[in-house]
Amino acid sequence: MSELEQPRENVQAHLKEVQDLLRRQSLVESLVHRQEMPRHDLVEDLVHRQHVAELSHKLDELHPADIAYILEALPVDERLFVWDLVKAERDGDILLEVSDAVRESLIETMAHDELKAAAEQLDADELADLAPDLPDAVMEDVYLSLDVEERAQLRAAMSYPEGTVGALMDFDMVTVREDVRLEVVLRYLRRFAELPDHTDKLYVTDRNDAVRGVLSLGRMLVCDPEALVSDIMDDDPLMLRPDDKAEDAATAFERYDLVSAPVVSSDDRLIGRVTVAAVVDHIREESEAELLNQVGLREEEDIFAPVLDSVRNRWAWLAVNLVTAFIASRVIGVFEGAIEKLVALAALMPIVAGIGGNSGNQTITMIVRAMAVGQIGHESGKRLLKKEVGVALINGLVWGGLLGVMAWWLYDNAELGVVMTLATTLNLLLAASMGVIIPTAMQRLGRDPALGASVMITACTDSGGFFIFLGLASLFLL
């Protein structure tokens, strides 16, 4: 279905409509079930069939992406009911669109032949995306059904790991030679039934498939048909390599406003192209993953997944946090004597730890962001540390001062106020330093600085905050 056949309706409205049909449906079903009156069977069967037909008709009208959306928003039983009603020849496209978790739930219910039929509708690059979720036996059968060129494309597409340009690329390029006139190209194009989606340019290659340039459709339309391709093509286009990082390609698309770009091998032969549609999907997925990883969710959850699947998805992060919380607890344990003598310490210590954690998370988020876009070099490190320490010092004196006054007023103990101010300031300084040092160190070690940044900084400011506050109190108050 072409993008443009979509009416301006909202997918929310589609969802609502499907839900209404499902509800009427289940109403009938439960009626039949409750009454169990055989002589009503015929009438109810008719009503039932009418509703199913209506729903199935509704689904036929929808774009695969919209059906995917609806499947994700429905609880498992309703989801599978709807999935059964979808025409088999659309299964492949829809499986591509749904989230990983929901895809699994759908594939589980499909027979070998259904899966094979669905997979065979797809292009090689799409098949490669779906492959990890398909049973091996299905993939083998599908592979055998491909022709030589498609097999080569599938192998190529599957050989690049996720996060590379190779994993984003497709093979829908239209190529022309450079020594022909535009008029010939225009005649050649008229033999196509339609051009591949996102064809904003033709790729000009020589007989060895080496890219000589690109020719944009826009340029073709404004130039004299007598012109030679070589005269009007752009002979120095941006080209991607299949092992480039997907993120770098996304940045290039964003920076230079591209619609498609050629992917070439190390000897400059054209092997595929990346379209802005693949880039947009990549950007969305990445930003989603970033948000989820921040709270230790391994992947997007099917919100209607069984409880145990969800437990598994959230397990690792809770375990890590338990360990860091346990360490912080042992730090407090060391100072139990001090707390026994001055119980106010117990009430005040979480404030010191908390404000350090918040401030540290601000610093580390900002620095990880700047690193992600490559704006922090070796020299800027020191400068940044100095700046963050400055910010921490001001915040420490202001907020710490305020907290000190509050502690003084609450417990009528001026020294306690001074210790509070001092501890808050020191913990903010610790937070600022670790907020710069942790991601910088991770980057030098070749690790992703975003990974676990929030856990690490909070571990530092919790244990550190308790240690600083209770330590200072032991020194000066007892």
Point out which span in 43-51, 80-88, 116-124, 301-309 binds its own copies (CB under 8 A): 301-309
Q: Which of 202, 238, 235 is nearest to 221 (CA)?
A: 202
Find the shortest distance in angstroms from Cβ 74 to its own copies.
Answer: 9
Q: How many residues bind its own copies (CB under 8 A)?
A: 138
Position 326 contacts its own copies (CB under 8 A): yes
Give the one residue of 180, 238, 405, 418 binding its own copies; rule: CB under 8 A: 238
CA distance 351 to 346: 10
Q: Which is nearer to its own copies, 83 or 138 (CB)?
A: 83
Position 214 contacts its own copies (CB under 8 A): yes
Q: Which of 264, 260, 290 is nearest to 278 (CA)?
A: 260
Q: How many Cα atoms sit within 13 Å of 305 on the Cβ side?
A: 20
Q: Parallel, antiparallel, or unpaired for β 260-264 and 211-216?
A: unpaired
Position 12 contacts its own copies (CB under 8 A): yes
Position 353 contacts its own copies (CB under 8 A): yes
Q: Which is nearer to its own copies, 25 or 395 (CB)?
A: 395
Q: Which is nearer to its own copies, 44 or 248 (CB)?
A: 248
Assess contact for 364 and 457: CB atoms under 8 A: yes
Check the CA dihedral 100-104-110-113 and report its sign: positive
Per CB under 8 A, which of residues 47..66 are in contact with its own copies? Answer: 63, 65-66
Q: Which of 154, 7, 19, 151 is nearest to 81 (CA)?
A: 19
Assess contact for 240 and 211: CB atoms under 8 A: no
Q: Which residue has the tokens 């400059």?
A: 268
Position 8 contacts its own copies (CB under 8 A): yes
Give the one residue of 57, 161, 329, 478 binding its own copies; rule: CB under 8 A: 329
3-state secondary structure (DSSP) of residue 202: strand
Position 190 contacts its own copies (CB under 8 A): yes
Q: Which is nearer to its own copies, 146 or 325 (CB)?
A: 325
Give the one residue of 85, 232, 325, 437 binding its own copies; rule: CB under 8 A: 325
Give the one residue of 272, 296, 449, 464 binding its own copies; rule: CB under 8 A: 296
Q: Which is nearer to its own copies, 179 or 340 (CB)?
A: 340
Point out which span in 134-142, 150-158, 164-172, 236-244 binds its own copies (CB under 8 A): 236-244
Q: Which is nearer to its own copies, 117 or 223 (CB)?
A: 223
Assess contact for 198 and 259: CB atoms under 8 A: yes
CA distance 263 to 272: 5
Q: Residue 159: CB partners within 8 Å, gap ≥ 6?
A: 166
Find the shortest distance in angstroms from Cβ 117 to its own copies.
Answer: 24
Position 316 contacts its own copies (CB under 8 A): no
Assess contact for 382 and 370: CB atoms under 8 A: no
DSSP 380-398: HHHHHHHHHHHHHHHHIII
Give the one residue of 160, 171, 203, 317 binding its own copies; rule: CB under 8 A: 317
Per CB under 8 A, which of residues 393..452 are in contact with its own copies? Answer: 394-395, 399, 402-403, 406, 410
Q: Which two tokens stand for residue 98?
A: 């749904």
CA distance 135 to 386: 55
Assess contact for 428 and 400: CB atoms under 8 A: yes
Give the one residue of 43, 163, 333, 415 binding its own copies; rule: CB under 8 A: 333
Diameter of the chain measured on Cα atoms: 95
Position 193 contacts its own copies (CB under 8 A): yes
CA distance 228 to 181: 4
Give the one residue of 259, 405, 437, 472 binding its own copies; rule: CB under 8 A: 259
Position 72 contacts its own copies (CB under 8 A): yes
Position 173 contacts its own copies (CB under 8 A): no
Give the one residue of 52, 80, 152, 292 binding its own copies; rule: CB under 8 A: 292
